[in-house]
Structure 1
Amino acid sequence: MPRPPDFSVEERRGVYRAISERRDVRSQFMPDPIPAPILRRLLQAAHHAPSVGFMQPWDFILIDDLHVRQRVKRLYEQENERAAQHYQGEQAELYRRLKLEGILESPLNIVVTCSRSRGGPHVLGRNTVLDADLFSACLAVQNLWLAARAEGIGVGWVSILDERCLADVLHLPADVYPLAYLCVGYVSEFLTEPELQTRGWRSRLPLEDLLHHNFWGESDNIGALIDQQVK
């Protein structure tokens, strides 16, 4: 018989609720500062992410300086204009109407970086997949994001930035990669659905279309397999 879970029913529901209700926030930020104890909890959650070889490649740059954020906003505007050129017609019009960042509106920006030389030249578990350090830093972002949702705090990831230009603005060492530029703060609301879905950009794919059985493209008896695992 499987061992009973360590988490209560209510605790498990909280985990799944945070996952389900997490949103990429762009336009609902409020100016209220994040209390220091809560901000520390978010950073501790990020710092407790798993990492290849326990190398813990992340650092966190907390940005509240308006001048720095204005420079980053200009970088975003340049790259966003370039990105808009990929779309035509109605899709181009929709793209230009989308708000894809909250750099100035959010009270705090956090940059999660990846120190690619941390742990030395030979990190346990990274010999074959050299980008495993980047994947590890992404897990720190996810931890912070879910913890923030549980605290009622919104997070938005600004990916429309040239990482080399951003590294120059932040004075990053050569071996440090700016993995995620996050806008963080309390919000007026959490949308019930992802904003890109409600705006008609894309919809969530059905899970059933993404399941394979033993080999790519094989899905026979996948439902029976899942049912068997939970018996």
Structure 2
Amino acid sequence: MSPENPAFSIAERDAVYRAIRERRDMRHFVPGAVAPEVLARLLEAAHCAPSVGLMQPWRFIRICDDSLRTAIAALVEQERGNTARALGEREEEFMRLKVEGVRECGELLVVALADKREQHVFGRRTLPEMDLASVSCAIQNLWLAARAEGLGMGWVSLFDPVALAELLGMPAGSQPVAVLCLGQVEAFYPRPMLQDSGWAEPRPLHELLSTDGWPQD
């Protein structure tokens, strides 16, 4: 390892794995602002994400206007009802879940795919979804950095992307993909919230891993 790229110490390595293991999709926040310098670090971490063809398709919109936050919360609530009805017999169970912290979180961010992505052919000719994959990497970077900073983050996907794009004056060709709730939390969930609530159980890795081809039943 060269002096410019020193090896991680054992403690540093363990800290990375700890952040990965303890990352949670947080829905419960307590009052408290996110310090500007911390927010800057988190956004820089997101911006360090890999992107196919170095297209950097992510755009971050910080929501500071209270009326905008209220309007976004209304969009989320509308889709929450639509999703509940689509779940059929699990509708009431779903409506008991807390699925967002839009009103309570200290910082609200909308992450979007930029417009004019079609010009980036490198890496997308056969897999055009790589722009979304790149944005997801940026969000994961931010998530892990937030956990390391002791802040909770929740990814909210319950919204009509067309309505949210119109609300934020986004150009044609762009697309919102995440509403991120970021802020102080009383405690991190010991396990994923949907697991603790009995909604679903995570599958073990061995069920999702195969060698030299698709697993055979």
* TM-score bin (small chain): over 0.9
Q: 1:123: Cα distance to partner?
A: 3.2
In the other structure, the counterpart of 2:50 is 50
In the other structure, the counterpart of 2:85 is 85
In the other structure, the counterpart of 1:198 is 196
In the other structure, the counterpart of 1:98 is 97
Cα distance in 2, alignment partners of residues 111 and 6 from structure 1: 35
CA contact (8 A) 1:23 1:191 kept: yes
TM-score, length basis structure 1: 0.88
TM-score, length basis structure 2: 0.93
Greater C-alpha radius of gyration? 1
Q: 1:116: Cα distance to partner?
A: 4.0
Q: 1:218: Cα distance to partner?
A: 4.7
Cα distance in 1, alignment partners of residues 80 and 88 from structure 2: 15
CA contact (8 A) 1:114 1:178 kept: yes
Structure 2 stretches lacking a partner, 5+ long: 1-5
Cα distance in 1, alignment partners of residues 158 and 178 from structure 2: 10
Q: Alignment length, in residue pairs?
A: 212
* Mapping of residues 115-194 of structure 1, within 5 Å: 115-118=114-117, 121-194=119-192
Cα distance in 1, alignment partners of residues 103 and 120 from structure 2: 40
Q: 1:138: Cα distance to partner?
A: 0.7
Q: Is 2:76 the partner of 1:73?
A: no
Q: Name the CA shift for 1:149/1:122 in 2 (closer, same or farther; >3 Å).
A: closer
Give a deviation string over 1:14-56, Cα, whole Å, max 9, x none: 11111110011112x1221111111100000000000010011
Cα distance in 2, alignment partners of residues 117 and 93 from structure 1: 41
Structure 1 stretches lacking a partner, 5+ long: 220-231
SS in 2 for 1:157: strand
Give a deviation string over 1:57-114, Cα, whole Å, max 9, x none: 111101122100111111111111111112344x322211101000101021111111
Give a deviation string over 1:98-157, Cα, whole Å, max 9, x none: 010001010211111111424x62432222211211110110000000000000011111
Matched letter for residue 18 of structure 1: A
CA contact (8 A) 2:84 2:92 kept: no
